Amino acid sequence: MGDAGIGRPDGQPDVKDKISVNLSQEEITKLDADMIFVAAYQDETKNAEDPKAKFQANPLWGHPQGQDRGRQRHHVVHRREPPGRQRDAHRPGQPVRRDPVTPLSAFRVKPRDSGFTRNRPCHHRGVERSEATWSPAVLFEPSGSRLLCTLCPTGCSLADGQVGACKVRRRSGDTGETATRATSVRHLDPVERKPFYHVRPGAQTVTLAAPGCTFRCDYCVNHRISQYGRDHDTWSATPVDASAIARDAATRDAFVALSYSEPSLAAELTLDLAAQGARVLWKSNGFLTPQAADLLAPALTAVNIDIKGTDDTRHHRLTGAPVTPVLDTIRALHAKNVWLEISTPLIPGICDSPRDLATIAEFIAAIDPAIPWHLLRFTPTYRRAQDNPTTPTALAEARAIGHKAGLHHVYVERALGEEGRNTHCPTCRTPVIHRTIWGLARNDLSDGTCPHCATTIQGIWR
């Protein structure tokens, strides 16, 4: 899913580094060694005239024609060296790419002896390799001699022993089972990084991600876990104890976020976490059936859903699924008072035309103009490694389209600088929340209202 990576192209400590130093030894050891999703070129590029050139010139991206010649382009680099010592050093004039997954050694905080032993660490991610553990699942119903999965609109009708199209749900006898009571990731993130901008700014999230996705997006920066069972066959996840996670989150006054892969596939874990008192956030593709939305809405505090297009055919080409059920889920969750934020990656040729963006903005505004809309810069990676990144100009134009449609809050995380991240009062336009790239700089809200004109700003502020 959309929340992408960390890593400062200038080599300075980033948000993750700052968070890491506050962790205990055990937590550091468990830290997601794998999930440093490099998005280095996405740093402040407000004044970049040619963002592609800036992207290509960034030394943090590995060189596809260097030491790693012959590998697939998106598998090029597995280490991050200090600036100036990149293993796949950039050659001027040559395109550079970097694998979005980097091992624990990239962190400045090294794992210390905590007594925690790893079981055959995966070579590129440092997480445990193991077999999937299957447990009873919700949202299955008999259909003749078959068992019908009603979690997502794919509607797999399974014979005994058959695995669904998502590869993480299956039939066993008369029971549906899931492999998603597990996680490939366990780390602390700021809530802004999911992204949620109207959910307790500055709060932390205990972030988990089970392998699997109902989409097959060809630009997925997290494809190593999301495309389990398709492009990647290694199960790299460990079982999750929902009560322990909920206690941990409560101790930190943190949310629990399911992100990076598709959280709706972890429906059972979501229900367990909520039953244990955790406040659960999803970064989701929204590809749910109405039954699933009904069942899961009460367990969800907030959901950020991607709208990746408006045309079913083009959306299907990009993701392997139509967009209509996504729009239905957004309406359903909003009707059930789940706090929603929407993200749209500006993907060249798929979802970047003014008409597409206006259609999305008008759809959101028709539901509620106070729903925040996050415009995401497209990252050339995976099967779209050859495409151009979104230009800052295109992001600025898209932001204007959102405002013209009547949306109160349209955000651009990095390419437009602080102005793109700040929350403004929709009435008097006073900036009321100031953000860094992945954190809170200053919150001037007074009990959820503008300190200047007392307009209520919608969101979850406590």
Q: For residue 263, say if its preceding peptide bond is cis, omega within 30 degrees of 0.
A: no
Nearer to ligand SF4, 61 or 215 (CB): 215
DSSP SS3 for 57: helix
Nearer to ligand SF4, 162 or 337 (CB): 162
Contacts of 435 (CB under 8 A, 6+ apart): 192, 197, 201, 418, 421, 422, 423, 441
CB neighbour class for 49 (10 Å; exposed up to 12, middle 13-18, buried from 19)? exposed
Write down the least CB distance from residue 220 to ligand SF4, Å.
16
Write down the least CB distance from residue 70 to ligand SF4, Å.
34
Neighbours of 248 (CB within 10 A): 17
Nearer to ligand SF4, 253 or 294 (CB): 294
Evaluate whether 79 touches 34 at the Cβ level (below 8 Å). Answer: no
Measured CA to CA, the distance from residue 180 to residue 198 in angstroms comes to 28
Write down the least CB distance from residue 102 to ligand SF4, Å.
30
Write down the least CB distance from residue 134 to ligand SF4, Å.
13
Evaluate whether 267 touches 137 at the Cβ level (below 8 Å). Answer: yes
Write down the least CB distance from residue 293 to ligand SF4, Å.
13
Write down the least CB distance from residue 155 to ligand SF4, Å.
5
Nearer to ligand SF4, 83 or 136 (CB): 136
Write down the least CB distance from residue 264 to ligand SF4, Å.
8
Report the Cα–Cα distance between both ends of the chain, in Å, rounded: 26
Nearer to ligand SF4, 152 or 407 (CB): 152
Which parts of this chain interact with ligand SF4 (CB under 6 A)? 149, 151-152, 154-156, 164-166, 169, 214
DSSP SS3 for 395: helix
Half-sphere exposure of 124 (CA within 13 A, CB side): 15
Contacts of 285 (CB under 8 A, 6+ apart): 1, 213, 214, 215, 262, 264, 305, 306, 319, 321, 326
Handedness of CA 125, 126, 132, 138 (dihedral sign): negative
Q: Which of 127, 133, 59, 122 is nearest to 96 (CA)?
A: 59
Structure tokens at 252: 């930190």
Write down the least CB distance from residue 151 to ligand SF4, Å.
4
Measured CA to CA, the distance from residue 75 to residue 61 in angstroms comes to 12
Write down the least CB distance from residue 154 to ligand SF4, Å.
4
Write down the least CB distance from residue 149 to ligand SF4, Å.
3
Handedness of CA 280, 249, 343, 340 (dihedral sign): positive
Nearer to ligand SF4, 149 or 249 (CB): 149
Half-sphere exposure of 286 (CA within 13 A, CB side): 28
Write down the least CB distance from residue 212 to ligand SF4, Å.
8
Nearer to ligand SF4, 209 or 371 (CB): 209
DSSP SS3 for 346: strand
Nearer to ligand SF4, 154 or 430 (CB): 154
Only one residue has tokens 């955790």, namely 278
Measured CA to CA, the distance from residue 269 to residue 271 in angstroms comes to 5
Nearer to ligand SF4, 205 or 284 (CB): 284
Please name every residue paired with 423 in a beta bridge, in sequence order, or none if there are none.
433
Nearer to ligand SF4, 222 or 391 (CB): 222
CB neighbour class for 93 (10 Å; exposed up to 12, middle 13-18, buried from 19)? exposed
Nearer to ligand SF4, 73 or 171 (CB): 171
Please name every residue paired with 234 in a beta bridge, in sequence order, or none if there are none.
none
Nearer to ligand SF4, 43 or 272 (CB): 272
DSSP SS3 for 206: strand
Cβ-proximal residue to ligand SF4, closest one = 164
Write down the least CB distance from residue 143 to ligand SF4, Å.
12
